[in-house]
């Protein structure tokens, strides 16, 4: 900014712009509130069905988020403009004061060509009017005023140019929507960009040149700014895709990073996490720089990093994807290229991916202590576990077609094996020979398969793994439901795909809990009647067979975590169903067209069958070859209290409109609860250590205890639901629930014997 620009700057247009943005912010506050409480709130309460259950609800949720981001971005722009204007006005006042003081020293400041200025004598004493005394000045005064004015202009230029840089960066973050980056003033936004530039310069150094102090600064900076959109985009763009790979590979190289590793290897895990979170934030940017970064990173995946024979790009980058929410588009293209490389190094899945097997001198690219990081599929699965849409697409995509060169066969319609194509799910869950891994203690590691289970949890449920569905979670779409069908069928066909890898059961159990409407409907064997009203499903139903569901539940029930997820989920689902169907205000077209007695009995019966089937799995785990302690199952149920209590869960089915009925004073705290909260509290109380009795030593004792527990819970749910809605048949409901549950356990016993007898160990008497 030159002298004339600042001296004669008119701030009225900028004042008007700030006033307009202030009005915009105020209006967007109202729009954001209306979008969240009105549009989104009504959408979550609406009874969506069909395509509306997924597309419309999801669109409305995203639209509401866009209003929130629009408000955030408008606020940031207003703050930056206001801060910049105030600074420029202050610089203008400082300039005017300096010019006045110079004039009092008989010095004048004039502009020169090219934007410069000079400080010269204003009136020569020889030419002063007669009797006029001209102020004196020295050469040092000239120098001081020149430096002062230049400093003012430099600071004004910095204010102006940095504001322009920050505003352009904000605008570039989102190509079609709004950025969620929030800044209180220009300095905070400008500081983030400058820090990104500084830290990127540190990361571009050779690992051997990076000092311990610089490492600490880099680690601390990434931790501080990992969620800052401007910082993350700038850091990743300045470092570049190749630079990112070379940095992490170099730091972990046993030769190049030896000196730094000796001092700071204990902090490598934290740096890995902070860098991953930063790159995830950066990947959400639509700027041209990040578009190039994502394209380059995908292209470098199959190339060695650093020296010849170094790790492949996929091996390095996948370890920087274990944390954070990466852009779906990037994950899709990255996953497609990773699969191409996997097919190449395994001859279309014909043998183990030996290129991903860590050998003696290979670097440890993962610093969490769980595995070496040599298999890129592990880190990529972790990334997918945080990105449901990308996970669904990835597992649904083809691995090989039936026309490609491979030996995979499946049973055809006539019972004969024929060459068949595989999806990515088929390959990873059923066929892949996962590389052998060890943790930092030298013990065998199952992190890869476990990460795959987490990714499947996200892919089938529509929300990140480890979370529960909320009011904004859309109903299951066709691809999710088909993936669920594939999972159930795969485990039913070969239960050891799960039981030999029990650590996956917590995720598979959570998946089952969120598909309880589909599972329960399958147990009715009703394809033409009114069971669909009793167990409503908002959009796409997973087409499951009764036999597959039975074998699947027995398998899941053999692991304490899997058992607990289904057990708690099923009881909450049953309680909500009773609450839903006992409500006299339920519209006729949604009502089960039978008597209250039939309604309670059928809900209790189907719940009893699910409970009885997983009880068989629990029984097998305790009394069969695995010899699992029965107390482990109760402990696992007790642990669910922190995640399920007060949670919305599946209601009566994800995407189905349901508002739980308050039940005053129902919970121990005396605070008003709901039918499901009463049931869950009872379950958790029964699983507390001081309530447990010694586990039974026989199949009969375990079965009897499970039956008695399920009867009591269903009776409590029915009684509470009936009272909540003021129905006149409270005592009768207790008997209906008892009969229904006993019938359900009887169904479970018969169906397991007929459909899954090979999954039970014959217990010899004595």
DSSP states of 249-293 as a string?
HHHH-TTTTHHHHHHHGGGHHHHHHHHHHHHHHHHT--SHHHHHH
Q: Which of 105-109, 252-256, 446-450 has the largest mean confidence?
A: 446-450
| Rounded mean pLDDT, 609-630 | 87
**Backbone φ, ψ for residue 717 (5° rounding):** -65, -45
DSSP state for residue 444 in the 8-state scheme: B
More confident residue, 611 or 634: 611
Distance of CA 97 to the CA centre of its chain: 55
| Rounded mean pLDDT, 327-341 | 97
pTM for this entry = 0.81
Q: Which of these, 11, 34, 43, lies nearest to 474 by C-alpha position? A: 43
pLDDT tens by residue, 265-307: 999 999 999 999 999 999 998 888 999 999 999 999 999 998 8
Q: Cα separation of 636 and 625, whole Å? A: 20
DSSP state for residue 438 in the 8-state scheme: B
The helix/strand/coil state of 119 is strand
pLDDT tens by residue, 692-745: 344 445 678 888 989 999 999 999 999 999 999 999 998 899 999 999 999 999
Q: How far is CA 751 from CA 487, 547, 654, in A?
A: 20, 8, 27
**Confidence at residue 763, expressed as pLDDT on a 0 to 100 scale:** 53
**Confidence at residue 2, expressed as pLDDT on a 0 to 100 scale:** 85
**Confidence at residue 432, expressed as pLDDT on a 0 to 100 scale:** 97
Give the pairing of strands 398-400 and 117-121.
Answer: unpaired
- Kindly list the domain boundaries of the chain, sorted by start residue: 3-172, 186-396, 480-759
How many other CB atoms sit within 10 Å of the CB of residue 437?
23
b or e along 141-154 (b: 16 or more beta carbons within 10 Å of the residue's beta carbon)? bbebbbebbeebbe
Residue 65 has pLDDT above 60, yes or no: no
Q: Cα separation of 469 and 454, whole Å? A: 15
Q: Cα separation of 370 and 174, whole Å? A: 36
The helix/strand/coil state of 399 is strand
| Rounded mean pLDDT, 190-194 | 87
Tokens of 527: 């394809």
Q: Which residues, listed in sequence order, are joined to residue 398 by a DSSP beta bridge?
A: 423
């Amino acid at each position: 900014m030159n002298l004339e620009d600042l001296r004669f700057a008119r701030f009225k247009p900028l004042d008007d712009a700030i006033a307009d943005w202030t009005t915009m912010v105020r209006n967007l506050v109202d729009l954001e509130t209306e979008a969240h409480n009105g549009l989104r709130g009504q959408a979550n309460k609406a009874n969506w069905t069909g395509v509306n259950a997924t597309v419309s609800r999801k669109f409305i949720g995203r639209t509401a988020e866009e209003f929130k981001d629009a408000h955030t971005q408008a606020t940031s722009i207003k703050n930056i403009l206001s801060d910049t204007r105030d600074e420029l006005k202050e610089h203008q006042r400082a300039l005017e004061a300096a010019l006045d003081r110079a004039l009092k020293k008989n010095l004048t400041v004039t502009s020169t060509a090219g934007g410069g200025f000079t400080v010269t004598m204003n009136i020569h004493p020889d030419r002063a009017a007669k009797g006029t005394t001209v102020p004196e000045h020295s050469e040092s005064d000239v120098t001081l005023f020149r430096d002062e004015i230049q400093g003012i202009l430099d600071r004004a230029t910095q204010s102006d140019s940095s504001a322009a840089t920050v505003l352009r960066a904000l605008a570039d973050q989102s190509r079609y929507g709004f950025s969620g980056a929030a800044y209180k003033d220009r300095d905070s936004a400008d500081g983030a960009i400058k820090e990104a530039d500084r830290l990127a310069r540190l990361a571009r150094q050779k690992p051997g040149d990076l000092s311990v102090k610089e490492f600490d600064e880099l680690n601390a900076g990434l931790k501080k700014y990992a969620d800052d959109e401007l910082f993350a985009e700038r850091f990743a763009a300045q470092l570049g895709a190749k630079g990112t790979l070379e940095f992490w590979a170099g730091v972990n190289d046993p030769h190049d990073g030896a000196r730094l590793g000796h001092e700071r290897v204990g902090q490598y895990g934290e740096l890995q996490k902070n860098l991953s979170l930063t790159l995830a934030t950066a990947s959400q940017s639509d700027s041209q720089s990040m578009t190039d970064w994502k394209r380059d990173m995908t292209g470098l995946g199959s190339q060695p990093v650093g020296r010849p024979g170094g790790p492949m790009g996929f091996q390095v980058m996948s370890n920087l994807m274990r944390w954070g929410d990466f852009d779906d588009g990037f994950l899709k293209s990255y996953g497609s290229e990773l699969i191409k490389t996997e097919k190449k190094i395994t001859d279309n899945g014909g043998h183990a991916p030996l290129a991903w097997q860590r050998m003696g001198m290979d670097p440890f690219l993962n610093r969490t202590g769980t595995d070496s990081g040599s298999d890129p599929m592990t880190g990529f699965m972790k990334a997918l576990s945080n990105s449901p849409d990308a996970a669904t697409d990835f597992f649904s995509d083809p691995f090989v077609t039936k026309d490609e060169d491979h030996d995979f066969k499946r049973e055809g319609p006539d019972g004969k094996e024929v060459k068949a194509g595989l999806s990515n799910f088929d390959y990873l869950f059923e066929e892949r020979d996962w590389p052998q891994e060890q943790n930092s203690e030298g013990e065998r590691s199952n992190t890869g398969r476990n990460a795959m289970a987490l990714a499947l949890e996200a892919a089938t449920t529509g929300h990140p793994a480890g979370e529960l569905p909320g009011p904004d979670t859309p109903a299951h779409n066709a691809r999710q439901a088909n993936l669920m069908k594939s999972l159930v069928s795969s485990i039913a066909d070969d239960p050891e795909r799960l039981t030999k890898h029990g650590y996956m059961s917590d995720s598979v159990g959570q998946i089952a809990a969120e598909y309880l409407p589909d599972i329960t409907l399958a147990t009715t064997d009703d394809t033409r009647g009114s069971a669909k009203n009793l167990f409503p499903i908002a959009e796409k139903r997973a087409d499951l067979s009764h036999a597959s569901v039975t074998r699947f539940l027995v398998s899941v029930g053999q692991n304490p975590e899997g058992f607990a997820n289904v057990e708690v989920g099923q009881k909450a689902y049953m309680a909500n169903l009773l609450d839903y169907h006992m409500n006299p205000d339920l519209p006729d077209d949604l009502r089960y067209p039978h008597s209250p007695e039939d309604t309670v009995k059928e809900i209790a019966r189907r719940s009893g069958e699910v409970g009885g089937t997983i009880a068989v799995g629990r029984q097998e785990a305790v009394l069969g070859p695995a010899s699992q302690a029965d107390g482990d199952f109760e402990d696992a149920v007790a642990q669910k209290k922190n995640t399920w209590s007060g949670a919305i869960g599946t209601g009566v089915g994800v995407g189905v409109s349901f508002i739980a009925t308050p039940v005053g004073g129902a919970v121990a705290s005396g605070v008003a609860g709901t039918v499901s909260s009463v049931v869950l509290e009872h379950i958790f109380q029964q699983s507390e250590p001081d309530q447990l009795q010694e586990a039974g030593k026989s199949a009969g004792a375990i079965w009897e205890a499970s039956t008695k527990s399920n009867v009591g819970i269903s009776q409590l749910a029915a009684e509470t639901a009936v009272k909540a809605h003021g129905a006149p048949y409270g005592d009768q409901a207790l008997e209906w629930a008892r009969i229904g549950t006993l019938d359900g356990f009887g169904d479970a016993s018969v169906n397991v014997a007929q459909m899954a007898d090979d999954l039970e160990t014959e217990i010899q008497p004595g």
